[in-house]
Structure 1
């Protein structure tokens, strides 16, 4: 009898579920296994951040030692040492002057195998993890105990057939499987503007950084700016959202369009009004204490709200001392992390669903490679930040008008408007209660296959990591859950994805062996 398992989404959550699962299958194969790997893109096993959609000239937002944990990190570094010459050449070929600078500055470090402090090109990791999965697949296929079917289609609906599933695709076809792993990454981007652009010389809207692919977006932006530059017209660029995606867009634009040659200026819009921090002050770190969190260690009972309020007060204190997130994040995270085990199950859920992400939004960090571009723009008076929340976008004779409500208590005004030529939407994803949620997600919820947890960005799972029987969840849609002894308010971090995927692999294997036992 053949088992049929579908993975809906083929990013690194799928990869790190498959690696231990296939190793287990090789050791204890029960019978023949049919895998169906489904994705609407060609980035099988790499996913959006590390595949073609992100392009080959963007870097990790973290240094390598914080990006991936052991033992995976050492194995990855060994692979890098063996393949770096070809990878570096490919990086330079697809990047601009920043890519060449990266190789020049870091060559002496990485040829010695010193990778831990480097912010490496993201596609390096994508190439590595793809090979790791394919090697295991090919080994099992050669033993005739595994078949793998790659389906490059968009899934539009899942229905239950007893304990099994029927998966429907956008071309009208369907597939019947025994088990399904929902591993489709983050929720879809918010749709801010859907009207056609009328004046294509004055206005360009990029609806999301990676949907059609970073390189395709960059081609549009480069052509737009160059055409304006020929007419000696400056180009004002608004990046909505001061997060990793926003930083990447600024970096990529300046990489392709050097500041000395093009009349570009940038503004970002975010509610907190600050960019991620990248400078660690080791002296200030020695003296800073999260006093409000420490004070809670003496309380007999605690709530998630109390921990959150104390963390925010400590972040306020750090900011008042001009201590940035890169310096304080480890200290404050350790402070509230020590208190979480004292919460009961209900309060842990509250922290995961409501409070963890609120703290995280105030402690965003990034590498100097991205932030140095912002610094250079600022020195040239070509970058500033709007502290506010997006309201609407509309086209006018000058380009695209961005309207926002101010969150700056010192601004003296409640609302604002400004015209830009390019607007890039990096405001992030919808939630599971949004009116414009895709029909696919709405169907999962309406049919009772998945139930949003209170975070509204993840699905409720049981102890086996199932949203419902035989429907497992992997990756970012696990946000707002407790898995074994850990709680997760987001799963964008590779370390969290690897750990949770390893647990899922064990649960998936157990579900197969339980069926055999019956």
Structure 2
């Protein structure tokens, strides 16, 4: 007999659950044989979307390496980079444009000396590394006949439970029966902003999601569209909806593929706060800035999540009034509210995780200057504007696509603005677990009561063993809005958080075995 475990989704949450799990299995000869099924609709096993083929090979981490991955994993990763950087850099150059060449030219003196911590490293490097780390542990246990592993490149359509077993049904109508399931599907699907089928013409192109078909496939469509307009001497007006990492990455990719001096392109982004991520740290002003509203709560005996959040927003308001960006203040403000959270009750901690953490985070976005310099260059040429507003709808006519939005400071509910564009890219983020656009797979998990959304509506409620229901474990971003051991999580897009939570899950999974 062997215990059958299915991992639905094969990104880094699965990888960092499997690494300690397989190591523990290797060290515990008393455990029975395990059969693992690794299921994903793409072939990026153990890499996931951000670090695999769908993101392409010319994009960078949004954080520097020291903030991207925690120790001891970072040192191990850097050692691997040092051994493989020549081959990796050549592949990066072959798939990128002039920005890739600039990255190598600027940073090779550092990484040739092993100085990686401050670098914004190409993302596919990490995908290669983590795939290797999992596979070598898998291969060892398979060779010892302690483990059987099967890869299933399929889309899971439903999970049902009868008695003590789960039945997974796939898009090809095949089935799989297992005793345990780990739900590790990554972030929720992108919001659908325009449900009509857009007919591509010389005047209009709509990209529904930057990674939906794969970044490189989308970039090929965008390049073909802009080049066709250029051949007819037509300028291209582009709207990127969202000022998050995906939006910033899309601006970078377009300008890398289609240099500004060669193509008549102009850009606008739309976001509710009207600012791009920040990448300039000011060490002098960081010493001067105080999170005084958060500090004033240090002696309070009646703290609530709402009071802490209100104080954080007031301190961010002060920073913005002083023209201080998030790169300078994020650490100070995070430390300010972080020191107060241990004083909250468990109920109030979950309130902070579900209702406040992400709202603060949206105002404290940071990114590397390699990406942000592209925006700076566009602004210097008067080819970039940031619209501060909320998306309303998209229409189309023979001349292009019409973006309707409501200015953030609109005086009335009826106040609305509109503007024509030739190309619109949707980077506005994900649906929540109550949205109409939720996938049937997730809807069925909820309706069958195998998973229950928590108050955040972006994560599932889990117990102390990280189970949404008995033997159905949750990993990665769908843990948002939960407390795991002594930590609360309002999002789990950050690799450090995924590594830590996945290590806890691996222990829970191991202890559930016979």
Give the TM-score taking structure 2 as reference length.
0.99
**Contact 1:164–1:176, Cα closer than 8 Å, also in 2:** yes
Query: Partner residue of 1:26?
Result: 26
Runs of 4+ in 1 over 2 A off after TM superposition: 196-199, 408-414
1:212 counterpart = 2:213: yes
Residues in 1 aligned to 2:19 and 2:211: alpha-carbon distance in whole angstroms: 26
Residues in 2 aligned to 1:401 and 1:177: alpha-carbon distance in whole angstroms: 49
Residues in 2 aligned to 1:319 and 1:390: alpha-carbon distance in whole angstroms: 23
Residues in 1 aligned to 2:357 and 2:96: alpha-carbon distance in whole angstroms: 36
Residues in 2 aligned to 1:480 and 1:413: alpha-carbon distance in whole angstroms: 34
Deviation at 1:398, TM superposition (A): 1.6
Residues in 1 aligned to 2:14 and 2:134: alpha-carbon distance in whole angstroms: 10
**3-state SS of paired residue (1:392):** strand
5 Å-filtered alignment, 1:472-511, equals: 472-511=473-512
Residues in 1 aligned to 2:232 and 2:329: alpha-carbon distance in whole angstroms: 47
Residues in 2 aligned to 1:414 and 1:85: alpha-carbon distance in whole angstroms: 55
Query: Partner residue of 2:133?
Result: 132
Query: Partner residue of 2:390?
Result: 389
Query: Partner residue of 2:287?
Result: 286
Residues in 1 aligned to 2:72 and 2:52: alpha-carbon distance in whole angstroms: 23
Query: Partner residue of 1:60?
Result: 61
Structure 1 pair 316–409 and aligned structure 2 pair: CA distance change class (3 A): farther
5 Å-filtered alignment, 1:82-121, equals: 82-121=83-122
1:221 counterpart = 2:240: no
Query: Partner residue of 1:78?
Result: 79
Task: Structure 2: state its 5+ residue gaps.
Answer: none
Residues in 1 aligned to 2:132 and 2:379: alpha-carbon distance in whole angstroms: 41
Structure 1 pair 238–496 and aligned structure 2 pair: CA distance change class (3 A): same
**3-state SS of paired residue (2:212):** coil
- The Cα offsets for residues 100-122 of structure 1, whole Å up to 9 and x where unpaired, read as 11111111110000000000100
Structure 1 pair 320–192 and aligned structure 2 pair: CA distance change class (3 A): same
**3-state SS of paired residue (1:365):** coil
Query: Partner residue of 1:159?
Result: 160
Query: Partner residue of 2:5?
Result: 5
Query: Partner residue of 1:308?
Result: 309
Query: Partner residue of 2:368?
Result: 367
Query: Partner residue of 1:450?
Result: 451
**Contact 1:352–1:489, Cα closer than 8 Å, also in 2:** yes
**Contact 1:273–1:386, Cα closer than 8 Å, also in 2:** yes
Query: Partner residue of 1:180?
Result: 181
**Contact 1:406–1:413, Cα closer than 8 Å, also in 2:** no
Structure 1 pair 187–412 and aligned structure 2 pair: CA distance change class (3 A): closer
Deviation at 1:199, TM superposition (A): 4.8
Residues in 1 aligned to 2:307 and 2:220: alpha-carbon distance in whole angstroms: 48
Residues in 1 aligned to 2:155 and 2:177: alpha-carbon distance in whole angstroms: 16
Residues in 2 aligned to 1:309 and 1:256: alpha-carbon distance in whole angstroms: 43
- The Cα offsets for residues 285-335 of structure 1, whole Å up to 9 and x where unpaired, read as 001110000000111120000000000000001111111111000000000
* Total equivalences in the alignment: 513
Query: Partner residue of 2:328?
Result: 327
Task: Structure 1: state its 5+ residue gaps.
Answer: none
Residues in 2 aligned to 1:247 and 1:179: alpha-carbon distance in whole angstroms: 39
Deviation at 1:194, TM superposition (A): 2.5
Residues in 2 aligned to 1:295 and 1:232: alpha-carbon distance in whole angstroms: 60
**3-state SS of paired residue (1:433):** coil
- The Cα offsets for residues 459-511 of structure 1, whole Å up to 9 and x where unpaired, read as 00000000000000000000000000000000000000000000000000011
1:268 counterpart = 2:269: yes
Deviation at 1:161, TM superposition (A): 2.0
Query: Partner residue of 2:468?
Result: 467
**Contact 1:280–1:326, Cα closer than 8 Å, also in 2:** yes
**Contact 1:10–1:38, Cα closer than 8 Å, also in 2:** yes
Residues in 2 aligned to 1:71 and 1:364: alpha-carbon distance in whole angstroms: 26
Query: Partner residue of 2:422?
Result: 421
Deviation at 1:412, TM superposition (A): 13
Structure 1 pair 199–78 and aligned structure 2 pair: CA distance change class (3 A): closer
Deviation at 1:413, TM superposition (A): 9.2
**3-state SS of paired residue (1:151):** strand
- The Cα offsets for residues 247-297 of structure 1, whole Å up to 9 and x where unpaired, read as 000000000000010011100000000111100011110011100000001
Residues in 2 aligned to 1:79 and 1:410: alpha-carbon distance in whole angstroms: 55
Residues in 2 aligned to 1:361 and 1:35: alpha-carbon distance in whole angstroms: 37
Query: Partner residue of 2:16?
Result: 16
Residues in 1 aligned to 2:391 and 2:262: alpha-carbon distance in whole angstroms: 31
- The Cα offsets for residues 152-185 of structure 1, whole Å up to 9 and x where unpaired, read as 0000000002122000001110100010000000
Query: Partner residue of 1:168?
Result: 169
Residues in 2 aligned to 1:486 and 1:28: alpha-carbon distance in whole angstroms: 28
Deviation at 1:196, TM superposition (A): 2.3
Deviation at 1:200, TM superposition (A): 1.5
1:351 counterpart = 2:346: no
Note the aligned Cα RMSD (angstroms): 1.2
Residues in 2 aligned to 1:144 and 1:324: alpha-carbon distance in whole angstroms: 55
Give the TM-score taking structure 1 as reference length.
0.98
**3-state SS of paired residue (2:512):** helix
**3-state SS of paired residue (2:335):** helix
Residues in 1 aligned to 2:111 and 2:316: alpha-carbon distance in whole angstroms: 35
Query: Partner residue of 2:278?
Result: 277
**3-state SS of paired residue (1:385):** strand
Deviation at 1:414, TM superposition (A): 2.7
**3-state SS of paired residue (1:296):** coil
